[in-house]
Structure formats: structure tokens, C-alpha cells
Amino acid sequence: MVIIIRMQIGRPRLYTNTEDISCTTFILKLYLMKNLPALLLCIVLLSIFGCKDKRTPDVAPNVLFFLITENGNRLPDSTLDNISLYYYENGKKISSPPSNLDDKKLVYPASRFSGDLAGKGVLAGNYVDWLVYGKNVNDFYLEYPNGDVDTMYVEVTFIGREEGAKDRCYCAYPFTVVKFNGKDAPESVDPKSATGKPIYVFEKNL
């Protein structure tokens, strides 16, 4: 088994891949090992049955897109620019990724990941899926500049890289449950992301 560590936007991702050794690579290894009998046998078998290289797709980390609205209207940029996303670990409030990563917070404008969302008030939590499946965190909190706090609950499921390449999230861990203040968050009809990822609507004052 080959262990591959990939980095995207400062975040660690761990994948296990048992299919990255292709037929071509295998033949080359036999040649380099000067294992002539095995090499000849392999060539004969391949000439009979054929060889089809198969590589597992390299999917991207998932990103949680969400749009916070109040009475049907998106929040002003002055509020969105100062929202904090945090969670608790062993009773400690954490609002930033591990110190060895470049990012300094857990929420950014969604335009950082999908340029078509610039100026539309959509935010992105690009560490949420990692925290859910990697650290078993499901409960998150959104804190506003005025001190108000809303809750967010998230679940993901593992579908693997091959199925993930077919999913609209193009990821191995799609979101299966997204709740805002205890209620299921609907998906946005407008705006939509050009990437195909869902945008969840967090409506305040329901």
C-alpha cells in the first residue's frame, strides 16, 4: 500500500492508494530487476489478455460554502469580513487551523475557492470536512462582530476517491448533514457555484 500525503491551500490530506502501481510500472520494475523469465511471462500474458492501466482519480478537499441571510437578505460585507468560525476541543475554543499551516482562520470568502462567487456574500469553511472526519468534530460556532453566536452542525461520509470524482463535490468526503441553529440548511438556488458544490443557506431570525 502506498501512502500519499497531499497539500491544498495549506491543509494536510491523507489518502491510501493501492492502485497507483500500473501495468507499465510493473513491467519496468521487472526489467530493472533483470528478472528475465518473469518479464517474458508477463509480456506473453499481457499480449493475450491485454493491459489496462488504472489510476485512482486525485480528488480535491471538500469546502463548505454557506450564505448567511437575515430576513431574506445577505449580511453586509462589514459583518461577513469579521465573522469567526470556531469549535471546541477538550473544552478549549479553537478558531484557527494548526499552527504549522499558513491559514490563520477557519472561514474565508468563498471567492478564494470559486472566483464566480466574488461579491455574493458567500463564505467558505475549507477545514470543516477535515475536522469532521479527522477529529470527530461536528459542532461549530459562528461568532459575529456584535458578539452574537449561531450554531452549525455538520456530518460527512466517506465515498472514496473514485466515487468522489463522480460526485458534484469532486471530493472523497461529501457533506451529508448541514444544520444551522438546529435546523436543516437548504441549498441556495441563487447564487450557485460554478464548481457544482452546494451553497447552504443559513437564515437568521426564522
Question: How many C-beta atoms lie closer than 10 Å to residue 172's C-beta?
Answer: 25
User: What strands, in cross-sheet order, belong to the sheet with 92-94?
Assistant: 92-94, 84-89, 139-143, 149-156, 175-180, 183-184
pLDDT attached to residue 46: 62
Domain boundaries, the chain: 2-49, 64-204
Q: Which residues contact 185 (CB under 8 A, 6 or more apart)?
A: 66, 178, 179, 200, 201, 202
Blockwise average pLDDT, block size 10, the chain, 206 residues: 42 44 52 58 62 71 96 93 97 92 93 94 96 96 96 97 94 97 96 93 84
Torsions phi, psi for 66 (to 5 deg):
-150, 150
The pTM score is 0.74
pLDDT attached to residue 24: 54
pLDDT attached to residue 57: 79
pLDDT attached to residue 8: 44
pLDDT attached to residue 33: 56
Classify strands 64-70 and 199-204 as parallel, antiparallel or unpaired.
parallel
